[in-house]
Structure 1
Amino acid sequence: MRRTVISLLAVGALAACGSPQQAAGGGQDLNVGIVYSQSGPLASYGRQYADGFKAGLSYATKGTGKIGDRKINVTWADDAGDPGKAVSAAKDLIGKGTKILAGSTASGVALQVAPLAAQNKVLFISGPAATDGITGVNRYTFRSGRQSYQDVLTAKAYLGSGKKVLVFAPDSAFGASNVAAVKAVMTDATVTDIAVPASATDFTPFASQIKAARPDLVFVAWAGTTASAMWQALDQQGVLSTTKVVTGLDIRSTWPTFGQAGGKLQLIAHYFDGAADNDAYRALKAAVPGGVTDLFDPDGFAAAQMIVHALRTSPDDVDKMVGSLEGYTFDSVKGSLTVRSEDHALLQPMFQATLTVDGGTVTARRTGEVTDAAPPAAAMKG
């Protein structure tokens, strides 16, 4: 039986301490705090989220940045991917009267900020953080991106009929989330895992472990600055050349790291430029630097749309904001999105794609759309 290698994206949020942007109007401002990865290993993801948020805020408010005559005042804070810094920044914002928090590129960060939302009764919209643990964690927490379970459900079409599955992922909240998701989806398979230290830079020993285990399917969940070294090691050890490869599509800057192998991959994609075409996409495309959208721009865009909707419903009552988002369906960059009422999962289309390699140019082409990637409903914890 041919073995399959599947690689999915990791995602977690880092936060950046920026200077508060105080607007005219004093206490009339509607304050929003964005705690995200302005620096650190996921800074490129954070930058895309921030670009998307700014574009989404303009789109949702028709360029005014206001709800009625009240300005939406955004304060940006950097946690550098450190949950402790994120909690400190969130507490500082809450202490200053901020009733809405968003951001969280890193899963570990999101899991620490979410409890603060419930404790202080503020609205929290997590960003690219993919951990399934955010869904249903409490009634004040939502998400504007996808979760690991949706990645796995999208990948399922590529997985084949193997019975022996190995999950290759970092030893982190994100990695654990992927292991749990694979076990939940691949119920008829034996699932084991290799948890790689997040600080690892030499992946050759781990690639050798994959070959020695001889699984029918290898599910690789990885993201960040070490992804290139990881894929190079798997390639050098013959993992990629001897198996069918299914991998998650990361940000555009990583595409060339696949080399000529990129054209042989079957990809699952949260998003890439051109995966969808609608008014929101065109507004985002016109706003982002260079006019080319990327992986996590839609997460920021959707977060801004959700915040504007909540503020329009009730600019000062958080419980009414929460109620307005439960069951909310809206058109965004990826297409139609729905916040599931019972656990706040964000139901959304997921994409299948292939890469075309022409000399030094790598482009992605959509080959399919998975509309039924809804994770099982989670019980709301608080």
Structure 2
Amino acid sequence: MRATKKSLAMTLGVATMLAVAACAPSTGGGSENGSTTESQNASEHAPSGEPINVGIITSTTGPLAAYGETFIDGFEAGLDYATDGTGEVNGGELNVTFEDDGGDTDRAVTIARDLIGQGYKVLGGTASSGIALSLAEQAEQNQVLYISGPAATDAITGINDYTFRSGRQSLQDVATAGSFVDVAGQQVLVFAQDNAFGQGNLAAVEAVLGAKGAEVTSVMVPEDVTEFTPFAAQVLDAAPTMVFVAWAGATSGAMWQALDQQGVLDDITVVTGLGDTSTYNAYGAASEKIDFLNHYFPGATGNEINQAMIEHVEAAGGTPDLFTPDGFVAAQMIVRAIEEAGGAEDVDAMISALEGWEFDGPKGSYTIRESDHALIQPMFQAKLVSDGSGGWVPELVSEAAPEDVAPPEAG
């Protein structure tokens, strides 16, 4: 694999974000589900030795830089795994260009148009939901394959024929939250900031847990509030069976302290998403009282692919984290698409190669749902435990089966 990296200056700034695999491929991109004849035909028709261009657009500067770093780490590990270390598919070298979107939608679209103008037929990446939606639009307009990364917006699923995703979506987070209690006939209260992020989470809880028989209520907190005691008291007075917390930003610590001081965490099941490693120590004394839904942490699963990913990332000097598997799976999907299509020129063939594909990845068993390209995958329940030196680390409580947390079909 030849990698061209542009603007990869890394920053340590991280935006706190709510976080919140059936037949193992013998050569990474392939699957036991795939026809041997198809794979042979793809190899026969591939332009041997001709480079295959792949563009990865993600944040390597800006507020989501840390997410971009872990995505790229996972992508490089995934390409190594999926190509058996050759960096080639059907005899063609993968020429991967990494571009920094800086968290800016206009910049990302400009980069995408430039790559497409150079003849790139395969694009991937981005942790920003807004950017992912714009890149999906570019993919449809220009008829190229786009595989979104960690962006969690549900709107990516089913948006068009050309767009897939390599991570989970918000509806899967919410469905995992519902696995902590039997919500049928119970009150589930959403405690969130009164902004687009919070309202989106409320809508997802209503759609998923409401459909399972929960009575969904909410306490929505204005963004400019810094004193959370009155709102925590409202939660306690409502006496719900479960509280789903959707929160992001610098006020997280004060918010959790208020919930703890008001006794909410003692008397009610409180569920929120476990983010990346930078958030593990953000909950203070409340850490052991919170139930966490989780997309991924390195100890969530012990399968061989996960171990291979971890070893590759650590050998390269990185640290596996929340979105590392999203990069790894994106690489698996790209290799699969190119391999089965006999190259990257036939975009329709690449799409067909991915639709309905079942494969093993770092989290376990994955399926790309043919109807809307949702990525059906396991999710996890976790808790934070003391690491013995004043910090906190995640520990697996249970795995939620892919089918149990699958999002409703889009459209």
Normalising to structure 2: TM-score of the pair?
Answer: 0.79
**Residue 165 of structure 1, aligned match among 176, 189, 207:** 189
Whole-Å Cα distance in 1 between the matches of residues 290 and 304 of structure 2?
30
**Residue 186 of structure 1, aligned match among 209, 231, 242:** 209
The percent identity for this pair of structures is 50
5+ residue gaps, structure 1: 1-6, 12-24
1:221 deviates by 2.2
Q: 1:283 to 1:242 in 2, by over 3 A?
A: same
SS in 1 for 2:171: helix
**CA deviation vs aligned residue, 1:93-138 (integer Å, no higher than 9, x gap):** 1111111111120111111211111111111111111111111010
Q: Which amino acid aligns with 1:56?
A: G
For 2:347, the equivalent position in structure 1 comes to 318
Q: Which amino acid aligns with 2:274?
A: L
Determine if the alignment matches structure 1 residue 374 to structure 2 residue 406: yes
Whole-Å Cα distance in 2 between the matches of residues 225 and 50 of structure 1?
26
Q: 1:271 to 1:120 in 2, by over 3 A?
A: same
CA contact (8 A) 2:257 2:286 kept: no
Q: Which amino acid aligns with 2:115?
A: L
**Residue 324 of structure 2, aligned match among 297, 313, 320:** 297
1:339 deviates by 0.1
**Residue 337 of structure 1, aligned match among 361, 366, 375:** 366
1:64 deviates by 1.1
Whole-Å Cα distance in 2 between the matches of residues 38 and 222 of structure 1?
24
1:193 deviates by 5.8
**CA deviation vs aligned residue, 1:221-270 (integer Å, no higher than 9, x gap):** 23566644654565567654664422211112211122232122222111
Q: 1:335 to 1:322 in 2, by over 3 A?
A: same
Whole-Å Cα distance in 1 between the matches of residues 106 and 228 of structure 2?
30
CA contact (8 A) 2:245 2:270 kept: no
1:320 deviates by 0.4
Q: 1:169 to 1:77 in 2, by over 3 A?
A: farther
**CA deviation vs aligned residue, 1:62-113 (integer Å, no higher than 9, x gap):** 1111113311111112222222222122112111111111112011111121
For 1:111, the equivalent position in structure 2 comes to 133
**Residue 18 of structure 2, aligned match among 9, 24, 37:** 9
1:194 deviates by 2.5
Whole-Å Cα distance in 2 between the matches of residues 81 and 195 of structure 1?
26
For 2:381, the equivalent position in structure 1 comes to 352
For 1:283, the equivalent position in structure 2 comes to 308
SS in 1 for 2:359: strand
Whole-Å Cα distance in 1 between the matches of residues 222 and 78 of structure 2?
36
Residue correspondence of structure 1 range 102-141 to structure 2 within 5 A: 102-141=124-163
Q: Which amino acid aligns with 1:250?
A: G
Whole-Å Cα distance in 1 between the matches of residues 125 and 376 of structure 2?
19
Q: Which amino acid aligns with 2:372?
A: D
1:158 deviates by 2.3
Determine if the alignment matches structure 1 residue 98 to structure 2 residue 120: yes
For 1:272, the equivalent position in structure 2 comes to 297
Q: 1:292 to 1:47 in 2, by over 3 A?
A: closer
CA contact (8 A) 2:256 2:286 kept: no
Q: 1:320 to 1:102 in 2, by over 3 A?
A: same
Normalising to structure 1: TM-score of the pair?
Answer: 0.84
Divergent runs of 4+, >4 A:
223-230, 232-243
SS in 1 for 2:99: strand
- Larger Cα Rg: Structure 1 or Structure 2? 2
For 2:29, the equivalent position in structure 1 comes to none
CA contact (8 A) 1:53 1:301 kept: yes
CA contact (8 A) 1:32 1:75 kept: yes
SS in 2 for 1:109: helix
1:285 deviates by 1.0
Residue correspondence of structure 1 range 137-156 to structure 2 within 5 A: 137-156=159-178
Over the residues paired in the alignment, what is the CA RMSD in angstroms? 2.6
Whole-Å Cα distance in 2 between the matches of residues 32 and 262 of structure 1?
41
For 1:46, the equivalent position in structure 2 comes to 68
Query: In the comparison of the two structures, how many residue pairs are matched?
Result: 354
Whole-Å Cα distance in 2 between the matches of residues 54 and 165 of structure 1?
41
Whole-Å Cα distance in 2 between the matches of residues 207 and 48 of structure 1?
36
